[in-house]
Amino acid sequence: MAKTKNFDYTIIGGGLAGMQLALAFCRDAFFDNKQIAIIEPEAKVANDKTWCFWEKGAGQWDAILLHKWDKGMFYGPEKDIPMNFEGYSYKMLPSLNFYNYAKAELAKNANIYWIRDRVTKVKGNEIKGAQETYESKWIFDSRVPEGFEKDANSITILQPFKGWVIETENDHFDPESFTFMDYRLGHENKTCFTYVLPINKRKALVEFTFFVPELVNDSIYDKKLEEFISNTLHVDSYSIKEIEEGVIPMSSYSFWKDNNDRYIKIGTGGGWVKSSTGYSFKNTERKVAELVKALKLNTIPKTSFWRKRFRFYDEVLLNILHQQNKKGPEVFERMYAKNEAHKIFKFLDEETTFAEELKIMWNTDQLLFIKSVIDVLKR
């Protein structure tokens, strides 16, 4: 019989959350004498995602970024709004840059074990893989819980998208400025937008995205991208260099409900995707820092009652998108027209005061927000 392998910490899934957590372990001397495993079935050699995020000033991933912008535009159905960033930059990181960097860093640490296996079951401190069985004092699991798909009580909005990296024959783009959201090309009264990330004058990532309660027919994305590129960007001649697609769940589901003091869900599976935006890259950084701090105190992170207000705001916005999906473009236009972008970024980063939060929501659409607050309170 094969001998069970024992670890202090085991991370299930070597994706964004798993690799960020492992990197944090190897950057802190507290974990030097811990045996740490990452169990991941894939080789992580494909550029399967492009992560974008905003942050103020320099950040820990700057050396591996593809591009960044200090200027951006928001196009609503009615208004063109230049965004005031005031110190924030919008940064673009191809996932392969991140995987290569993380794998190289992790390989320098003899106490970190990268295991190619697929976890099938976790019971107590035992982890069953397709190849072997492992035991671990602490388990960090980035698999999305099965209960999420079946759950009918939470509010869930899906963010399906498709993007093309295109190259044009002539100069077309301003690499200093990007389009954060463009709502001018609608589809059947649904909340949908396009964004444009120019890498140089002839190359850009153009993505078409929905925020919808149910998936939309796959055939729509290519048509919308073609339409946007020719009618809005006025580009006639281009070639598609790369394609990116995916679906991000934005949900009020309690991903953390199976957590205990030795088993913690992380990443999308742990609710680390901000449910009102679908962004999770920076949130992962914050959650990893909280987790590492707690582990050093032999505990797990707890969210205070007062901080839970941000979950409530997320739910209020999700509820609007769920109940009145066609209102999305108007809601986002008002939000960005009446509040400066840097204040919204601070709010979405959950760093605002209660007064700042009320102001942002008041400036957006009082009646709609009040009605949604009542709906959410009644649930």
Chain residues binding ligand FAD by CB under 6 A are 12-18, 39-42, 49-53, 118-119, 142-143, 244, 246, 248, 267-269, 273, 279-281
Name the minimum Å distance from CB 18 to ligand FAD. Answer: 6
Give the largest Cα separation in the chain, rounded: 68
CB-based closest residue to ligand FAD: 15
Contacts of residue 60, defined as CB under 8 A and 6 or more positions apart, other chains included, come to 285
Q: In the complex with ligand FAD, which residue's Cβ is closer, 220 or 337?
A: 220
DSSP string, 174-227: -TTEEEEEE-SS--TT-EEEEEEEEEETTEEEEEEEEEBSS---TTHHHHHHHH
Residue 195 and residue 207 in contact, taking contact as beta carbons nearer than 8 Å: yes
The SS3 call for residue 68 is strand
Closest CA to 202 of 167, 176, 228, 241: 167
Q: In the complex with ligand FAD, which residue's Cβ is closer, 140 or 313?
A: 140
Q: In the complex with ligand FAD, which residue's Cβ is closer, 129 or 329?
A: 129
Name the minimum Å distance from CB 26 to ligand FAD. Answer: 17
Write out the H or E segment, with its range, that includes residue 33. none
Q: How far apart are the C-alpha atoms of 40 and 174, rounded to whole Å?
A: 39
Q: How far apart are the C-alpha atoms of 224 and 113, rounded to whole Å?
A: 44
Name the minimum Å distance from CB 282 to ligand FAD. Answer: 7
Q: How far apart are the C-alpha atoms of 208 and 223, rounded to whole Å?
A: 10
Name the minimum Å distance from CB 68 to ligand FAD. Answer: 13
Q: In the complex with ligand FAD, which residue's Cβ is closer, 53 or 208?
A: 53
Q: In the complex with ligand FAD, which residue's Cβ is closer, 26 or 102?
A: 102
Name the minimum Å distance from CB 39 to ligand FAD. Answer: 5
Name the minimum Å distance from CB 339 to ligand FAD. Answer: 21
Name the minimum Å distance from CB 219 to ligand FAD. Answer: 19
Q: In the complex with ligand FAD, which residue's Cβ is closer, 40 or 365?
A: 40
The SS3 call for residue 31 is helix
Q: In the complex with ligand FAD, which residue's Cβ is closer, 280 or 352?
A: 280
